[in-house]
Structure 1
Amino acid sequence: MANPLKKKTIIVPWDSSQGCEYALEHAFQLAQAVGDNVMILQLVKRPGMLLTRAKRSEFEQQLAEQRQQLEREAQRLNMEFAEKRAAIIQNLKTKTAAAGREFQEVTITSMVLDYRSLVRSLNELVLTLSVNLFVTSQYYQLSRTTRLDLLPILRKMKSSKVDTTPFIIVNKPPKHLYYTELVVPMEYVGSYKETLRWVAYLSTYYHCNVNLIKPPLKDESKRRGMANNLYFTKKILDSKNVVYGIKTANKRAEFNQEVFSFVSAIEADLLILMANNMKNYFADRVVKSEVPILFINPLSKKYQAFK
């Protein structure tokens, strides 16, 4: 888990689309709660090895120009979001619900990442920059004719012995001025505890309420697993003074539909799912959701013993 006392970086893949602008709004909202940095990241696929010297020089020149252009974009965004932050702070001074919340300064930086293997390059970036989180739309326009699906790429991010790098997929701008309500579907399997680690982190440092929803289960072994996870959940959240509630889904409805109905009913700001359970909510692997989804990559099996 990321150390909350150390400044981290939230990465926003940047293709100048409306989707990445929405992602930046969410990233900035989260970053200002704890003072993290936000980096807009432009992706450039490096051409093959067999380039003439002239072609290689031309490519490097294009990279230099893209870096300068992206840096100017980051400067513009810093000014724009600084004004938004000032307006938000002024607006919230009269709202008692915002009492105790701090909105720290956030610096938006930029980077052009030229890569041959995107997964490998992103893993190196995570280690180099102490990346805490990716916030992105699902698709990235790499060129006029090439669109990347970032979801399977971010699913392949490596884990350390004690940590993974989660990612948020967004389709809409934030509903509220800051995140307040998180929805967490409970599970009966042991890997659910990885979700809980991030729930505790988000609720503590982003000052969010946690809304747990659990499926009605008939199988006795699954019920025992759920009871164990419920006990563990209450113990962790109570120890951190987190405000939470627990709802049991309607047994006559599909659990995934009950989850989305619950999200809509309370106007939740974020739904938290394990990335390896994505197919239970998005069978076609396309994240069609107005609420942002935080996907948590499970620890690699070889590291699960270290939890």
Structure 2
Amino acid sequence: MLDNRNTLLVTWDFTEVSENALLHAIKLSRNVENNIRLVNVVKPGNQVLLKEAEEKLKKEILRIKDQYKVILDSIILEGSLYSAITTYIKDSDVNMVLMGTHGIRGIQKYIGSHALRVIVGSEVPFIVVKDKPTNMDRFTDIVFPIDFRSENKEKLQWAIYLGKYFNSKVHLFKAPVSDSSLLKKVNVNLNFAIRFLIQNNLDYEINTASRSKNFGKEILSFASDINADLILITTTKYITIFDYIFGAPEQYIIDNASRIPVMCVNPKSSFAKMEQFMIGR
């Protein structure tokens, strides 16, 4: 969806969860007409490991092409996953990244202690998945949480992008706030979303969370109740050491027990470009 970017990057470590991420990429590519590229990251300076990875990945590409009847390519990067992925994305044609995981602990085992840093450091969205797609044809229901933060507007472009290709219903899930100034901001974000969803002829529904539990738990409970295909969130803009130790708010959403895929959008996009896209100029 980003200008001149048409590749879905799948983090690949030869595990079942990587295969699950690939299946989600195949699902997306069939509709958005993006290329698929597997990326495997190896430690730098070890030519034996590099050669082994190249041979192993070459065999996997042949298997995948034969099994799923798709066209794809691959790349092997040297370095830590964080630095390798973020650096590669900056100068590539990657539109979004798909990552399979057993959960936050699984990501940390795969990436290291700075798991969230990889996602937040990227200039393109990550879709984090645990299981295979339940439906290979549609993202029928997308949960779009709305709170008082201005960054809510930045993820709207991706809801519209997916909604247009998959004929999705966007469930606007409004945070319950009592403070009048915060409520005003929530309603501004809600009305902004409604405006552009209507202009793009997308089906939507408005729901408001109760006050029985925190907003994160309400989001997951609602998403589970409607059997959502995707939860769309904005990542924490500034990750601190405390977020790495105690967990940023989005970690709770990503690691949901219902195993619903989560799209993480970083608050870095251009509002000007976004508005042009959303009103179809």
Give the structure-2-normalised TM-score. Answer: 0.81
Q: Deviation at 1:153?
A: 3.7
Q: Secondary structure at the residue paired with 2:248?
A: helix
Match of 1:2 in 2: 2
Q: Which moved more, 1:6-15 or 1:233-242?
A: 6-15
Match of 2:277 in 1: none
2:91 matched to 1:131?
A: no
Sort the Cα spacing of 1:121 and 1:113 in 2 relative to 1 into closer, same or farther, 3 A.
Answer: same
CA contact (8 A) 1:119 1:153 kept: yes
Query: Which of 24, 42, 45 is equivalent to 1:44?
Result: 42
> Percent same amino acid among aligned pairs?
28
Q: Deviation at 1:65?
A: 4.1
CA contact (8 A) 2:98 2:127 kept: yes
Query: Which of 144, 166, 178 is equivalent to 2:125?
Result: 166
Please give the per-residue CA displacement for 1:107-146, whole angstroms capped at 9, x wherever unaligned: 221111112x543332332133311111112479xxxxx7
Q: Deviation at 1:75?
A: 1.7
Tell me, in whole angstroms, the C-alpha distance in 1 between the residues paired with 2:216 and 2:120: 24
Q: Deviation at 1:33?
A: 0.8
Give the structure-1-normalised TM-score. Answer: 0.75
Q: Secondary structure at the residue paired with 1:15?
A: coil
Unaligned runs of 5+ in 1: 48-58, 83-105, 141-145, 159-163
Please give the per-residue CA displacement for 1:49-77, whole angstroms capped at 9, x wherever unaligned: xxxxxxxxxx3354234223312211210
Tell me, in whole angstroms, the C-alpha distance in 1 between the residues paired with 2:273 and 2:200: 22
Query: Which of 183, 194, 201 is equivalent to 2:143?
Result: 183
Q: Deviation at 1:306?
A: 8.9
Unaligned runs of 5+ in 2: 104-108, 238-246, 275-281
Q: Which moved more, 1:220-229 or 1:119-128?
A: 119-128
CA contact (8 A) 1:135 1:167 kept: yes
Please give the per-residue CA displacement for 1:14-66, whole angstroms capped at 9, x wherever unaligned: 1111111111111111111121111111110104xxxxxxxxxxx33542342
CA contact (8 A) 2:41 2:84 kept: no
Q: How many positions carry a matched residue from both structures?
A: 258
Question: Cα RMSD between the aligned structures?
Answer: 2.8
CA contact (8 A) 2:216 2:252 kept: no
Tell me, in whole angstroms, the C-alpha distance in 1 between the residues paired with 2:253 and 2:142: 24
Sort the Cα spacing of 1:279 and 1:127 in 2 relative to 1 into closer, same or farther, 3 A.
Answer: closer
Query: Which of 62, 85, 88 is equivalent to 1:75?
Result: 62
Match of 1:16 in 2: 14
Letter in 1 for 2:121: M
